[in-house]
Amino acid sequence: MTNSELIRSSAANLATRLAAKEISAVEVTQAHLDRIAAVDGALNAFLHINTDEALSVAADVDARRAHGEDLHELAGVPIAVKDLIVTIGQPTTAGSRILDGWHSPYDATVVRKLREARMPILGKTNLDEFAMGSSTEHSAFGPTRNPWDLDRIPGGSGGGSAAAVAAFEAPLALGTDTGGSIRQPGAVTGTVGVKPTYGAVSRYGAIAMASSLDQIGPVSRTVLDSALLQEVIGGHDPFDSTSLTDPSTGLVAAARLGNVSGMKIGIIRELHGEGYQAGVENRFNESLELLKQAGAEIVEVSCPNFQYALGAYYLIMPSEASSNLAKFDGVRFGLRTLPGDGPMTIERVMGATRAAGFGDEVKRRIILGTYALSAGYYDAYYGSAQKVRTLIQQDFNAAFSQTDVLISPTAPTTAFKLGEKLDDPLAMYLNDVATIPANLAGVPGLSLPGGLADEDGLPVGIQLLAPAREDARLYRVGAVLESLLEQSWGGPLLDQAPELAGAAAGLAGTKEAK
């Protein structure tokens, strides 16, 4: 296989060829490192490149395979990790100056599982600071750019992981999704992203934004690849009290089964139409048509309380975040900034550290959360928002009593221009209107490419939602839709993405590990 074939392969395909010893893990890993070197200068998807460790894990896989050792299916398939997830041996920044240079002395549970499967970790991907944002512009280390158009955002907060996968820098990546941070970047970069059921994947080692909403999940170019990855990272973890005991099996089988005949698929009345870009709406309708042709019954359902979802989310998330981010104070780890003048007390050092270490969006959310939790406001804000959560769950329960899965556009628009919404926090928040309900209710959601919008030629995402613990349904339906769409396009959507300048010019890698 040529380097170009290696990097454009799906993880499943790489796994098959690695197992057959047609290719080596070192070869695959090196091809991706070369690609990163060639294009990441333009994209800024990676904050750290883990060259030596990735190659040594790959070499170890090759040696073990040569000895006939029985390895994990994905052994030797490289992966990128969102820099919100802690890793021994690499820095973890959460996209924040406050953690610049910090190395975790422990591995996140999902990272431990990647190591056990012997998947070379290519590096750490860029994100909005502490995963707070929908564009990756809030990273302290510069924005990531969308491979489809370098002047546009790759979505957020997991724009680095999505862009890396879309730009063939990695076949797989890990993301985290609190209000859509895996799915919305997937939508705007033409990739697949899954937010598993809350508790299906351990959160241990994912730097918390909002504990009751956060979930780690897979980022990939195909539905099957996400299923393969979720089976690696999922399952019970005794280090996470909210981790479910359900086994993370049956997902790959569901993706391979890919059959929707007789299934009921519900359109959520509140999550399309007004406020959604015409091109998004058109692609969404095409997907519905394809699913109908494949034997699914399309019905419409109403989730009237979804109108409160964004409000509830922007109370619960900042409340929990304000408390979760209190530990960043310059005492035990990370940045310490001394006050410019006045008495040198720990109070003032904490205040100066947090002032210098946090960006505007993080400060905004901390202040908002502090407000929502403060005496006199708790019941009206946090308390009410928790009640809205109950109403949203009830809406989902009612919808799932009539349907097997729900469907909507993932995001109301395609990728917007860098800087376009930076000064309008509320407009930025509206990007997550379709993804947030799943986080509030804990149900799983998958976004897959639905084509390109007519007006701008940019990717549109289709979101599937299933009842809690029924992640397999997403893979089953997603695989069908993916295959029907690819038939209609004559290949993967990313085949239509423009060549990246650096790669086209065949530039040798200049981007060193940072």
Partner 1 sequence: MDATLSFDEAIEKFDPVLGFEVHVELNTATKMFSSAPNVFGDEPNTNVNEVDLGLPGVLPVVNKAAVESSILIGLALNCTIAEYCRFARKNYFYPDTPKNFQTSQYDEPIAHDGYLDVELEDGTVFRVEIERAHMEEDAGKLTHMGGATGRIQGADFSLVDYNRAGVPLVEIVTKPIEGAGARAPELAKAYVAAVREVVKNLGVSDAKMERGNVRCDANVSLRPYGREKFGTRSETKNVNSLRAVEHAVRHEIQRHAAVLDGGGTIVQETRHWHEDTKSTTSGRPKSDADDYRYFPEPDLVPITASYEWVESLRARLPEPPAERRKRLKEAWGYSDLEFRDVVNAGLMDEIEETVAAGASASVARKWWMGEIARRAKLADVDPAALGVTPAVVVELDSLIREGKINDKLAREVLDGVLAGEGTPTEVVDKRGLAVVSDDGALQAAIDQALAAQPDVADKIRGGKVQAVGAIVGGVMKVTKGQADAGRVRELILQTLGVSA
Partner 2 sequence: MAAINRDDVAHLARLAHIEMTGDELDRMAGELAVIVDAVKSVSEAAGADVPATSHPIPLSNVLREDVVGHVLSQEQALSGAPDAQSGRFRVPAILEED
DSSP state of 99: G
- Which is nearer to partner 1, 349 or 503 (by Cβ)? 349
Question: Which residue from 20, 67, 70, 238 is in contact with partner 2, where contact means CB under 8 A?
Answer: 238
Question: Which residue from 105, 262, 491, 506 is in contact with partner 2, where contact means CB under 8 A?
Answer: 105
What is the spatial distance between Cα 32 and Cα 142, in angstroms, rounded to a whole number? 22
What is the spatial distance between Cα 195 and Cα 177, in angstroms, rounded to a whole number? 6
Binding mask 42-71 for partner 2 (x = CB under 8 A): ------------------------------
What is the spatial distance between Cα 191 and Cα 415, in angstroms, rounded to a whole number? 13
Q: Considering CB distances under 5 to 8 angstroms, the limit depending on partner class, which of partner 2, partner 1, none binds residue 79?
A: none
Quick one: tokens of 191? 């990739």
Q: Is 176 in the site for partner 2 (CB under 8 A)?
A: no
Minimum distance, C-beta of residue 324 to partner 2, in the bound complex (Å): 12
**Of 10, 24, 181, 287, which one is the catalytic site residue?**
181
Q: Taking contact as CB under 8 A, which single stretch among the options 266-274, 341-349, 402-410, 475-483 is the one that binds partner 2?
A: 341-349
Residues forming contacts to partner 1 in the complex (CB under 8 A) are: 85-86, 92, 94, 99, 102, 104-106, 108, 203-208, 210-212, 238-242, 319-320, 322-323, 326-329, 331-333, 346-347, 350, 370, 373-375, 378, 382
Q: Considering CB distances under 5 to 8 angstroms, the limit depending on partner class, which of partner 1, partner 2, none binds residue 198?
A: partner 2
CB within 8 A of 506, min separation 6: which ones? Answer: 38
- Which is nearer to partner 2, 67 or 332 (by Cβ)? 332
Q: Is 383 in the site for partner 2 (CB under 8 A)?
A: yes
Quick one: tokens of 290? 């394809």
**Of 9, 10, 24, 82, which one is the catalytic site residue?**
82
- Which is nearer to partner 2, 377 or 489 (by Cβ)? 377
Quick one: tokens of 337? 């900034």
Task: Supply angle C-alpha 47, 27, 154, rounded to 5.
Answer: 30
Q: Considering CB distances under 5 to 8 angstroms, the limit depending on partner class, which of partner 2, partner 1, none binds residue 327?
A: partner 1
**Of 96, 104, 139, 157, which one is the catalytic site residue?**
157
Q: Considering CB distances under 5 to 8 angstroms, the limit depending on partner class, which of partner 2, partner 1, none binds residue 319?
A: partner 1
What is the spatial distance between Cα 156 and Cα 219, in angstroms, rounded to a whole number? 13
Question: Which residue from 368, 466, 474, 493 is in contact with partner 2, where contact means CB under 8 A?
Answer: 368
Q: Considering CB distances under 5 to 8 angstroms, the limit depending on partner class, which of partner 2, partner 1, none binds residue 491?
A: none
Binding mask 276-315 for partner 2 (x = CB under 8 A): -----------------------------x--x-xxx-xx
Count of residues touching partner 2 (by CB under 8 A): 74
- Which is nearer to partner 2, 239 or 417 (by Cβ)? 239
Contact 263, 477 (CB under 8 A): yes
For tokens 């454009």, the residue is: 8
Minimum distance, C-beta of residue 245 to partner 2, in the bound complex (Å): 9
What is the spatial distance between Cα 196 and Cα 214, in angstroms, rounded to a whole number? 10
Contact 306, 329 (CB under 8 A): no
Contact 30, 61 (CB under 8 A): no
Question: Coil, strand or helix: which one is 288?
Answer: helix
Question: Which residue from 129, 177, 225, 329 is in contact with partner 2, where contact means CB under 8 A?
Answer: 329
CA Rg value for the chain? 22
Query: How would DSSP label each residue in 114-165?
Result: HHHTT--EEEEE--SGGG--SSSTT-TT----BTTBTTB---SSSHHHHHHH
- Which is nearer to partner 2, 285 or 307 (by Cβ)? 307
Question: Coil, strand or helix: which one is 15?
Answer: helix
Closest CA to 413 of 460, 367, 454: 460
Contact 179, 317 (CB under 8 A): yes
Q: Count the residues in the chain.
A: 514
| Conformation bin of residue 257: beta by default, left when phi > 0, alpha when psi is -120 to 50 | alpha
Q: Is 444 in the site for partner 2 (CB under 8 A)?
A: no
Q: Considering CB distances under 5 to 8 angstroms, the limit depending on partner class, which of partner 2, partner 1, none binds residue 500?
A: none
Closest CA to 142 of 424, 514, 499: 514
Q: Is 496 in the site for partner 2 (CB under 8 A)?
A: no
Question: Which residue from 349, 398, 503, 507 is in contact with partner 2, where contact means CB under 8 A?
Answer: 349
Question: Which residue from 25, 26, 206, 441 is in contact with partner 2, where contact means CB under 8 A?
Answer: 441
Sequence letter at residue 10: S
Minimum distance, C-beta of residue 350 to partner 1, in the bound complex (Å): 6
Q: Considering CB distances under 5 to 8 angstroms, the limit depending on partner class, which of partner 1, partner 2, none binds residue 244?
A: partner 2
| Number of neighbours of residue 3 by Cβ within 10 angstroms | 16
For residue 82, indicate whether it is catalytic. yes
Minimum distance, C-beta of residue 195 to partner 1, in the bound complex (Å): 17
Minimum distance, C-beta of residue 268 to partner 1, in the bound complex (Å): 26
Q: Is 388 in the site for partner 2 (CB under 8 A)?
A: yes
CA distances to 36, 77, 123, 173 from 23, in Å: 20, 11, 22, 21
Closest CA to 314 of 469, 209, 402, 193: 209
Q: Considering CB distances under 5 to 8 angstroms, the limit depending on partner class, which of partner 2, partner 1, none binds residue 197?
A: partner 2
- Which residues on neighbouring strands pair with residue 464, listed in sequence order? 407, 446
Question: Which residue from 189, 197, 220, 414 is in contact with partner 2, where contact means CB under 8 A?
Answer: 197
Q: Considering CB distances under 5 to 8 angstroms, the limit depending on partner class, which of partner 2, partner 1, none binds residue 510?
A: none
Minimum distance, C-beta of residue 89 to partner 1, in the bound complex (Å): 15
CA distances to 17, 92, 200, 206, 219 from 210, in Å: 40, 18, 16, 11, 20
Active site residues: 82, 157, 181
